[in-house]
């Protein structure tokens, strides 16, 4: 190994900090490049109607249950009202994607049969997110974000 000189100490210190800086830049670049974007353009404007929209949604009394059958490749959504009956959904939009990146995002078309909404959808193993937006016949919005875990 030899004698430790000033040049060797300098090289060790530069290599040590060089590795740390390189890893930090790599992690920062990965974080920024996979960020899907903002939820809303202006959070202040969105917050102005938040309480009223939440109260209207709560007054609907709807609950939402999701189920994914990996063998059949089917995603199912069930809306029920406060009495446990099928909720009268007039319009439905669902975003299915990964929570951390937007490249796998899809907007599947659902068909309704007997109060259950279904769509054929192939999802890989891991964590998925469902952003559900439904409208009642009177135009009241129902929004909910659900996590879905697909076993590998």
Residue 79 domain-assigned (yes or no): yes
For residue 31, pLDDT beyond 90: no
Judge contact between 92 and 100, C-beta under 8 A.
no
For residue 1, pLDDT beyond 70: no
Strand order in the sheet with 91-97: 91-97, 126-135, 141-150
Residue 58 domain-assigned (yes or no): yes
Residue-range definition of the domain harbouring residue 65: 51-150
Closest CA to 132 of 102, 97, 104, 92: 92
For residue 8, pLDDT beyond 70: yes
Residue 142 domain-assigned (yes or no): yes
Residue 116 sits in a domain of what CATH number? 2.60.40.10
Q: Other CB atoms closer than 10 Å to residue 34's CB: what's the count?
A: 12
User: In this predicted structure, what is the pLDDT of residue 66?
Assistant: 94
* Confidence tier at 16 by pLDDT (50, 70, 90): very high
More confident residue, 40 or 36: 40
Q: What is the mean pLDDT of the chain?
A: 91
Average pLDDT in the 3-16 region? 94
Residue 132 domain-assigned (yes or no): yes
Residue 25 domain-assigned (yes or no): no
Residue 87 domain-assigned (yes or no): yes
Residue 40 domain-assigned (yes or no): no
Structural domain count of the chain = 1
Average pLDDT in the 129-141 region? 95
pLDDT in tens, 68-96: 999 999 999 999 999 999 999 999 999 99
Residue 33 domain-assigned (yes or no): no
């Amino acid at each position: 190994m030899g004698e430790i000189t000033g040049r060797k100490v300098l090289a060790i210190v530069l290599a040590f900090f060089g590795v740390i800086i390189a890893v930090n830049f790599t992690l920062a670049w990965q974080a920024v490049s996979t960020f899907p974007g903002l939820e809303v353009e202006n959070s202040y404007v969105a917050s102005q109607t938040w309480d009223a929209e939440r109260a209207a949604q709560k007054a609907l009394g709807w609950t939402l249950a999701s189920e994914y059958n990996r063998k059949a490749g089917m995603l199912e959504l069930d809306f029920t009202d406060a009495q446990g009956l099928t909720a009268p959904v007039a319009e439905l939009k669902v975003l299915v994607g990964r929570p951390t990146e937007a490249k796998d995002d899809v907007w599947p078309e659902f068909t309704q049969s007997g109060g259950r909404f279904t769509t054929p959808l192939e999802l890989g193993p891991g964590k998925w997110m469902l952003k559900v937006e439904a409208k009642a016949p009177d135009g009241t919005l129902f929004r909910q974000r659900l996590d879905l875990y697909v076993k590998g």
